[in-house]
Amino acid sequence: MIRTLEDLRTRLGEIRGADRSDAGPRVALVSTLGALHDGHVDLIREARDLADVVVVSTFVNPLRFRTADDTAAYPRSPESDARVLADLGVDAVFAPTVEEFLPAGTATTRVSAGDIGLRYEGRVRPFYFDGVLTVEAKLYHLVRPDVAIYGERDLQRIFLVRRMVRDLDFPIEIATVPTVRTDDGLPVSSRVALLDAVDRRAAAALPRALEAAASNSDLGVDSCIAAAQSALMGEPRITLEYLSVVDPETFLPVDDGHRGRAFALIAATVGGHRFIDNAEISLR
């Protein structure tokens, strides 16, 4: 368990040794906010398959949140996390304080996510992706991983991270892992456990909406969206924030003439908790 930047550099230096050639150990980074669940476990297992050394960050990034109170409210389970990480054989866990990792606080230099960072999730939280990319870039600089692993539930994050890696010439491979789901189809997250039984049943309509969109993909984008909306009708406990079909290459909404691969994105609030999800579809 590493708390300081100096100790992180020391530990990684020990791991890499004097060998700085391509023959040195392959390092994987899994960036989390802690409160680990089965989805994180899959990321770490994939990291173990892809690399010799696995580094996990559990830093709760305040740049992702609107206020200090929102940051403080984020669930934390350090003892449970430590047991999970030990059982998985993680080589280094980076868990710095905010003062250590971001000494300038929220006034720190930022990486801009650009126009795509202001759409979908960014429309609701315009600060969010700048905060995500800023901390990811700093982790890349400190850890110097060969590969970083992300869950496909956060498709917009993956798109923006890949673009940052390309634009800023980070020599890093970005790998992804399919979304881990509960028995009722919801993506596994810390928020699912906070739902009561009534809201949990309502929330299950979200993955059903994506299934409806995929089932109507041969009828075009308008039919996909209409089918998803119909699947949400009759669930007054769901407040839909956005429902979009986007081009994987640009992450912009597809037009009527789009054919081939696309992603359906959905975000909604249920019982006071936000959920995001997505599904790959094929427009014909």
pLDDT (0 to 100) of residue 44: 97
Helix extents (H) in the chain: 5-16, 38-50, 68-73, 78-87, 98-101, 121-124, 128-143, 155-167, 197-203, 205-215, 221-232
- Choice among 37, 40, 141, 273 that is catalytic: 40
Exposed/middle/buried for residue 88 (C-beta within 10 Å: 0-12, 13-18, 19+): middle
pLDDT (0 to 100) of residue 24: 82
pLDDT (0 to 100) of residue 5: 96
* 246 in a known ligand binding site: no
The yes-or-no answer on residue 37 being catalytic is no
Q: What is the mean pLDDT of residues 92-109?
A: 93
pLDDT (0 to 100) of residue 22: 59
* 190 in a known ligand binding site: yes
235: pLDDT confidence band, cut at 50, 70 and 90?
very high
* 189 in a known ligand binding site: yes
pLDDT (0 to 100) of residue 19: 55
In contact, 148 and 161? CB cutoff 8 Å: yes
What domains, with CATH codes, occur in the chain?
Answer: 5-177 (3.40.50.620), 192-278 (3.30.1300.10)
Q: How far is CA 21 from the centre of its chain?
A: 31
* 161 in a known ligand binding site: no
Q: What is the mean pLDDT of residues 76-86?
A: 93
pLDDT in tens, 27-36: 999 999 998 9
* 154 in a known ligand binding site: yes
CA neighbor of 132 nearest in space, from 160, 153, 102, 105? 160
Q: In the structure encoding, which two tokens stand for residue 16, read together?
A: 């890499």
pLDDT (0 to 100) of residue 76: 87
Q: What is the mean pLDDT of residues 136-140?
A: 98
Answer whether residue 21 shows pLDDT above 80: no
- Model confidence pTM above 0.85: yes
